């Protein structure tokens, strides 16, 4: 084992080896920063796509709610019309014997 990598004392690393490891890490920092920047950009794009899809789904859901409310209103109007027709028929039936 080379002298510079031999532990000093009770398992402590050689200061020169620790310094070299630190320099290697420092040398790697720009590449790590670039990778992190790319990853953040990719995540930002994915989040933007998800937001857009969610907004579109909200829009579709709102349209469906409006359509459902319109159908309910129409159904209520049809029920009212049916009730009036029944009442009218009952009035006619009451006036015509044998119906």
**Residue 3 confidence (pLDDT) above 60:** no
Q: Answer for the pair 14, 4: CB distance below 8 angstroms, yes or no.
A: yes
pLDDT tier for residue 2 given thresholds of 50, 70 and 90: low
Quick: pLDDT tens for 31-79. 999 999 999 999 999 999 999 999 999 999 999 999 999 999 999 999 9
For the chain, which residues make up each domain, given as ranges?
15-95
C-alpha distances in Å from residue 58, one per residue of 7, 63, 68, 85: 63, 9, 15, 40
Half-sphere exposure of 39 (CA within 13 A, CB side): 6
Using the CB atoms, write b or e for 3-42: b if 16+ within 10 Å. eeeeeeeeeeebeeeeeeeeeeeeeeeeeeeeeeeeeeee
């Amino acid at each position: 084992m080379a002298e510079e990598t031999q532990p000093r004392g009770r398992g402590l690393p050689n200061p020169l080896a620790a310094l070299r490891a630190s320099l290697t890490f420092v040398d790697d920092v720009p590449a790590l920063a670039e990778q992190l920047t790319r990853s953040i950009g990719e995540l930002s794009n994915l989040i933007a796509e998800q937001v857009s899809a969610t907004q579109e789904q909200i829009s579709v859901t709102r349209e469906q709610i409006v359509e459902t409310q319109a159908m309910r209103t129409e159904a209520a109007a049809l029920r009212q019309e049916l009730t009036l027709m029944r009442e009218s028929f009952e009035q006619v039936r009451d006036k015509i014997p044998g119906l």
